Amino acid sequence: MRPLHFLNKTRYKFLGLILIVCALYGTGRLYYRITDGFTESNIQYQIPYDSRWDVVPLAEGDKKAVEQILNQDYHYLGKGCQSYVFASDDGEYVIKFFKYQRFRPQAWLDNFAFIPPLDSYRLRKIEKKKHKLDNVFASWKMAYEDLQPETGVLYVHLNKVGGWGKKLVIYDKMGLKHELDLNSLEFMVQKKANMLCSELIKFKQTNDLVSGKNLIDSLLTLLLSEYARGYADNDHALMQNTGVYRDKPIHIDVGQFVKNSIASDPKVYRQELFSKMWKFRIWLRKEYPELADYTDERLSEAIGPSFATLTPQLNKSSMGRIPANATF
């Protein structure tokens, strides 16, 4: 009987351990769902000063305007791949903070630095994450200095320098209050836009096809103007990354912009434009067929005869992406 009793006891202990692990995992997932993973520590990162991320300073009048924009509370709006987003009380602006848990190397790897193969892996991961963060920093800076009308970006803060005296009050997803010292954080201030597809659905519901066509025209003009100047957004998620601010389209996600003269090459930008519009056209065909026909007509005019033979390049890897001129 004793061996059987021992086996039963061991079985119950093992079952109890499994239940504890499942409970801890479930609690962690529930907490993440409730908070979206936001903590103050996740928007903080001790990055040394880097002159590459100095930006053109705001003119005195513009700085006062941004200070006024920040002189109000902000409430949690959502998260993207790269940042947490908070909306202003007046509904006109958003402030974005980096999700540094995505860009920081895993700290536990440091414990195995004495093992050569693991240390090599650790160093590769560090370099890869640094390169990824550098690219996003470069894109944010480009959006602020070169593409303000196209992105609605009013200011970016990428080096921990002074100049912002008052603390910013934000409320997280659970409604908890946080007071942030902006001098110690990297952030972006941007105009708050409505989502592109939501605006088009409103036009459909009010039978306002003219406004829908005008928005499509403005969108194509926006993209073609960027290509002509050598700018491209390597994120092809057009529907998720495009907003409408006062009847004009703007990029709301600005984390993958590059500048390269090859973007102005007709062969390159026609393929880029075709790929970027592909899933949007599928959505239009389902949700707004009348506008889908018009969009295809305008896109065919912009691309030319090759419109009929092009196929979308939807690979999310670096293959097919337009490289930046600079190497970070």
Lowest mean pLDDT among 73-77, 116-120, 190-194: 116-120
More confident residue, 16 or 68: 68
Using only C-alpha atoms, what is the Rg of the chain? 24
Separation of alpha carbons 250 and 235, rounded Å: 14
Q: Is the pLDDT of residue 29 over 60?
A: no
Domain ranges of the chain: 40-191, 194-308
- Mean per-residue pLDDT of the chain: 89
Q: Residue 62 has what pLDDT? A: 96
Separation of alpha carbons 127 and 72, rounded Å: 38
Separation of alpha carbons 4 and 11, rounded Å: 10
Closest CA relative to residue 275, chosen from 242, 325, 243, 316: 316
Q: What is the pLDDT of residues 208-252, one digit of tens each?
A: 999 999 999 999 999 999 999 999 999 999 999 999 999 999 999
Q: Residue 319 has what pLDDT? A: 41
Q: Residue 116 has what pLDDT? A: 77
Q: What is the pLDDT of residues 250-292, one digit of tens each?
A: 999 999 999 999 999 999 999 999 999 999 999 999 999 999 9
Task: Retrieve residue 65's tokens.
Answer: 């305007």
Share of the chain above pLDDT 90, in %: 74
Going by pLDDT thresholds of 50, 70 and 90, the confidence category of residue 8 is low
Going by pLDDT thresholds of 50, 70 and 90, the confidence category of residue 323 is confident
Q: What would the mean pLDDT of 200-207 be, rounded to a whole number? A: 98
Q: Is the pLDDT of residue 54 over 80?
A: yes
161: region left, alpha or beta (phi > 0 left; psi from -120 to 50 alpha): beta
The CATH architecture that domain 194-308 belongs to is Orthogonal Bundle (1.10)
What are the beta bridge partners of residue 76?
A: 86
Separation of alpha carbons 182 and 191, rounded Å: 18
Q: What would the mean pLDDT of 31-60 be, rounded to a whole number? A: 89
Q: What would the mean pLDDT of 139-148 be, rounded to a whole number? A: 98
Going by pLDDT thresholds of 50, 70 and 90, the confidence category of residue 326 is low
Q: What would the mean pLDDT of 310-327 be, rounded to a whole number? A: 69
Q: Residue 115 has what pLDDT? A: 79
Report strand pairing: 168-171 vs 74-79: parallel
Interior/surface letters 125-142, b for 16+ CB within 10 angstroms, e for the rest: eeeebeeebbbbbbbbbb
Q: Is the pLDDT of residue 5 over 70?
A: no
Q: What would the mean pLDDT of 52-56 be, rounded to a whole number? A: 96
Q: Is the pLDDT of residue 320 over 60?
A: no
Going by pLDDT thresholds of 50, 70 and 90, the confidence category of residue 130 is very high
Q: Cα 24 vs. chain centroid, distance in angstroms?
A: 30
Task: Retrieve residue 114's tokens.
Answer: 């004495």
